[in-house]
Structure 1
């Protein structure tokens, strides 16, 4: 499974670190842009397959990502 993050998205670093620590087999990529600028500027986001995952903060995003795994 692959999780994509936008390079510009705030809060991604702590989420990426937690995923790498708890799920070392998950592939993580940082893209220049995911094409979701409105959501990206307002809250932490990630893409799993073609599904946008959003959280009000990085902890909520991480919890939602865990549910998708």
Structure 2
């Protein structure tokens, strides 16, 4: 299985918690990047966001975002 790339927006408040959980659980399976912007500014101010291999993933809170990222990783 090839490594998935997870991109977080550095301006998105709360990404650090989710990033830490992803790193802890999927350390060998993912490459994690923190970018200045991931091109979803309309969602960034309202939701937690990330991209998994380019696919936008969002959540209302850290648990929801983590769950959705985990689901994308497992595909």
- For normalisation by structure 2, the TM-score amounts to 0.88
Structure 1 stretches lacking a partner, 5+ long: none
Please, which of 16, 19, 24 is the counterpart of residue 22 of structure 2? 19
Structure 2 stretches lacking a partner, 5+ long: none
**Structure 1 residues 2-58: Cα deviation after superposition (integer angstroms, max 9, x where no partner):** 100000001101100001111112110000111111101111000012210000101
Question: How many residue pairs get matched?
Answer: 69
Match status 1:38 vs 2:47 = no
Match of 2:61 in 1: 57
In the alignment, the residues of structure 1 paired with residue 25 and residue 54 of structure 2 have an alpha-carbon distance, to the nearest angstrom, of 23
In the alignment, the residues of structure 1 paired with residue 54 and residue 7 of structure 2 have an alpha-carbon distance, to the nearest angstrom, of 10
- For normalisation by structure 1, the TM-score amounts to 0.95
